[in-house]
Structure 1
């Protein structure tokens, strides 16, 4: 069983070439993400994660918002490469948006003042675990994805466009679709420099 988990982690790579199709149904993606949200741990069982899945036109709209937001701040002479990069995400089938509900975090801070400074950190750690679970689960289904961070630039427009609560803080965006190319070889630092074992 542990070998299956590790194999899944090895499959999970940053895939930038993605297409507007997937080998499973949208309903299956919804179920996969729901199970990940339900079972990924959180500090104090806070369950502060909030997730939005965008398909089709809604997915395209997100990346149009991102492109037009960046157009306002990226110099015109440099914008073509930015536009190309955003286009690669938009060429995918969908996007998973990861949020953390700050109302939950703030409530815990009020209840447990001793750990007040830690709750935002733990919230981010929980979100990171959820991102990995969803990303790995997609990879197991033959779906490529890459994790993006255009927050806080797009936060307010995203919340307005999809009528999301003000307390939801955008953490990351995961565009996904069927891979159009295999990722290159990945370089690894010597494990001996990164892992210590004491017996």
Structure 2
């Protein structure tokens, strides 16, 4: 096992569904950590298309209430109890990061570089994924639990209206975070021989 600091930080990044409200660092430090993690994440053509909404306390609870209302409209009533409990577990955390990609930036790049027009939406997804991983790892390294969720596009319109978000912002993922209220189990990995090919 490598002792590389980046890999050590990556090993601490695990999915945490048992979240609490007691953050190990101040709220402002948490905001700055999230912002810096996104800021340092690479993007195609240095487009910096990632956008974020950071919700704490009642604002985070309100977001998950919007998600729950959207799901209630499509999940059968007799099967909703499990969904209800899952959403409540996300709302139990200290906050939520909403990851967006600014479509105006992507369209501008498509206009400037038509040869790569079809690639920019794909590269945007790559950039968003890197930002998500960066934030998740930074939170874990600070002792903050989190998980990555994808309930978009169900709540998108209601969320944009609630927090007056630009129409060009497209929701890509949601990350509830908070104190770690349960230990992590073991994580299994598939064999390297299945996953990798090395030549030379």
Q: Report TM bin, short chain.
A: over 0.9
Taking the aligned partners of 2:130 and 2:151, their CA distance within structure 1 comes to 19
The answer to whether the aligner puts 1:143 opposite 2:149 as a matched pair is: no
Which 5+ residue runs of structure 2 have no aligned equivalent? none
Deviations 1:38-70, CA, capped at 9 Å, x for gaps: 211100010000001000110110011111111
CA root-mean-square deviation: 1.1
Corresponding residue number in structure 2 for 1:193: 194
Corresponding residue number in structure 1 for 2:10: 9
When normalised by structure 2's length, the TM-score is: 0.97
1:175 aligns to what SS in structure 2?
Answer: strand
How many residues get paired?
A: 199
Deviations 1:128-174, CA, capped at 9 Å, x for gaps: 00000000000001111000000000111111000000000000000
Taking the aligned partners of 1:7 and 1:94, their CA distance within structure 2 comes to 25
Which 5+ residue runs of structure 1 have no aligned equivalent? none
Deviations 1:164-190, CA, capped at 9 Å, x for gaps: 000000000000011111121112110
Corresponding residue number in structure 2 for 1:82: 83
Tell me how far 1:2 sits from its aligned partner: 7.1
The answer to which of 46-55 and 189-198 deviates more is: 189-198
What pairs with 1:55-134 in structure 2 (closer than 5 Å)?
Answer: 55-134=56-135
Corresponding residue number in structure 1 for 2:24: 23
Deviations 1:58-106, CA, capped at 9 Å, x for gaps: 0110011111111111100000000000000001000010000000001
When normalised by structure 1's length, the TM-score is: 0.98
Taking the aligned partners of 2:80 and 2:57, their CA distance within structure 1 comes to 25
Taking the aligned partners of 1:159 and 1:70, their CA distance within structure 2 comes to 17
Deviations 1:10-46, CA, capped at 9 Å, x for gaps: 1101100010110001110111111112211100010
